[in-house]
Amino acid sequence: MTKNKPNHSPSHSRSHSREDVRQIEFILPPTEQHWVGDGFFVHTLMHPHPRLVDRISPFLLLDYAPPRSFTPSRHRRGVGEHPHRGFETVTFAYSGEVEHRDSAGGGGKIESGDVQWMTAGSGLVHEEKFSRDFSDQGGEFEMVQLWVNLPKVKKMMPPRYQALQGRQFPQLTLGKSATGRLIAGKVSLDGQELEGPALTNSPMLVMDLRAQEDGGVQFPVSKSSNTLLLLRKGKLRVGETEVPEKSLAVLSLKAGQVQLHLSKGSEVLVLSGEPLGEPVFAHGPFVMNTRDEIIQAMEDYQAGRMGHLEERD
Ligand code: MN
């Protein structure tokens, strides 16, 4: 800052200079909604396309099922038995209930506000269904499913299942206008360092933000991270750029601060993670580093080496 320049940016502002702040690099709009099984009517916001993987790593895919009302039914909607290997599926239940079980013995029910963090690792089969109670009663259902890649050295780790309950998440206060909850990773706000309960296999920050009032929101991210924002509802602006609802904004690299403007009631999922910098070979439900590893995964699945679920009603 020099004395002779006109007073464009007031020195008393707490805002960081533009160079320190992430801008929007590009926006991924929602695809047409499509059914995953018969339970999840989703927009796909990102998937592991070769041109995209380096800018979204360690994240791979994000499906968003916006709020939808389901009538009571004895039939439990969802997705039947299918395999995964080499990454993690993370399910955020914003409303409604999802029940899960897998061939590695993981399983449970997640309710509104809960997050299920499943590590497929070396491989398993699982099913993802509405809970019996939710099917019987019907109601509003809103969900996000995120795929998180595993580093090469962890792709064949034993499967792991984390059922994270809403009340476990540290509550965040971001300035005067927004609150949030911390799901994974560390963040420093107002000199206080907080840490989310999810165990992750590479460094990342995952948090939900909600604007209580119209206003600006600021938080730090790692300078080397890829940082993505999903606007579930409301209005979000970064710099001069408005993000359309149900879209995913991919922020520019390197800066250590994110500044957002949110309208009252807006809800944003923040994903920020260190890129893995490893080759991604994705095929259907398997995400590995090489073609040979994908072929091996298909052989192992077909030979039953990822297990099976026991028959149930
Ligand atoms: Mn699955």
Region 281-310: what's the mean pLDDT?
96
Q: Is residue 307 part of a domain?
A: no
Gap from CA of 145 to ligand 1 centroid (Å): 9
Q: Is residue 5 part of a domain?
A: no
- What confidence tier does 16 reach under pLDDT thresholds 50, 70, 90? low
Gap from CA of 126 to ligand 1 centroid (Å): 6
CATH code of 106's domain: 2.60.120.10
Q: Is residue 309 part of a domain?
A: no
Q: Is residue 4 part of a domain?
A: no
- What confidence tier does 6 reach under pLDDT thresholds 50, 70, 90? very low
Gap from CA of 302 to ligand 1 centroid (Å): 17
Instruction: Please check the confidence at residue 1 and state whether its pLDDT lies above 70.
Output: no
- What confidence tier does 17 reach under pLDDT thresholds 50, 70, 90? low
Cα torsion 237, 238, 244, 248: sign: negative
Q: Is residue 273 part of a domain?
A: yes
Averaged confidence pLDDT in the chain = 93
- Residues 17, 7 contacting (CB under 8 angstroms): no
Give the pLDDT of residue 60: 98
Instruction: State how many domains the chain has.
Output: 1
Give the pLDDT of residue 54: 97
- What confidence tier does 311 reach under pLDDT thresholds 50, 70, 90? confident
Give the pLDDT of residue 7: 42
Q: Is residue 115 part of a domain?
A: yes
pLDDT tens digits along 28-51: 999 999 999 999 999 999 999 999
Q: Is residue 174 part of a domain?
A: yes
Gap from CA of 45 to ligand 1 centroid (Å): 17
Overall pTM > 0.85: yes
- What confidence tier does 14 reach under pLDDT thresholds 50, 70, 90? low
Q: Which residues sit opposite 61 in a β-bridge?
A: 147
Region 2-11: what's the mean pLDDT?
42
List the domain range (segments joined by +) for residue 23. Answer: 18-302
| Burial of residue 13, with CB atoms counted within 10 A of its CB: 0-12 exposed, 13-18 middle, 19 or more buried | exposed
Instruction: Please check the confidence at residue 223 and state whether its pLDDT lies above 60.
Output: yes
pLDDT tens digits along 103-130: 999 999 999 999 999 999 999 999 999 9
Q: Is residue 279 part of a domain?
A: yes
Give the pLDDT of residue 9: 44
Q: Whose CA is closest to 64, among 285, 266, 231?
A: 231
Gap from CA of 247 to ligand 1 centroid (Å): 22
Could you write out the three-class secondary structure of the chain? CCCCCCCCCCCCCCCCCHHHECCEEEEECCCCCEEECCCEEEEEEECCCCCCHHHHCCEEEEEEEEEEEECCCCCCCEEEEEEEECEEEEEEEEECCEEEEECCCCEEEECCCCEEEEECCCCEEEEEEECHHHHHHCEEEEEEEEEEECCHHHCCCCCEEEEECHHHCCEEEECCCEEEEEEECEEEECCEEEECCCCCCCCEEEEEEEECCCEEEEEECCCCCEEEEEEEECCEEECCEEECCCCEEEECCCCCEEEEEECCCCEEEEEEECCCCCCCEEECCEEECCHHHHHHHHHHHHCCCCCCCCCCC
Give the pLDDT of residue 24: 96
For 13-27, 73-87, 274-288, which range has the lowest pLDDT when averaged over its residues? 13-27
